[in-house]
Amino acid sequence: MEILIYLVPMALLLGLTGLAAFLWSLKDGQYDDVQGAAVRVLSDDDVRK
């Protein structure tokens, strides 16, 4: 049971780190154009000669 003294704060720290990374990516605009990548896959701009 003494291991919980270490595991609980580590789990909280990892969870808060993941939440901070998600909020940072949200603020940075990573999720602004969710349909753009799907449309770009379908376009055939690579013309081979």
Q: Please check the confidence at residue 49 and state whether its pLDDT lies above 60.
A: no
pLDDT value for 48: 62
Query: For 3-47, how does the pLDDT look when each residue is reduced to its tens digit (9 = 90+)?
Result: 999 999 999 999 999 999 999 999 998 888 878 877 877 776 666
How many of the other CB atoms lie within 10 Å of CB of 39? 9
Q: How far is residue 27's CA from residue 20's CA, in Å, rounded to a whole number?
A: 10
pLDDT value for 34: 77
Task: Measure the CA angle with vertex 12, ends 9 and 14; round to 5°.
Answer: 110
Q: How far is residue 14's CA from residue 22's CA, in Å, rounded to a whole number?
A: 12
pLDDT value for 25: 95
pLDDT value for 40: 77
Sorted by where each begins, the domain ranges of the chain are 4-41
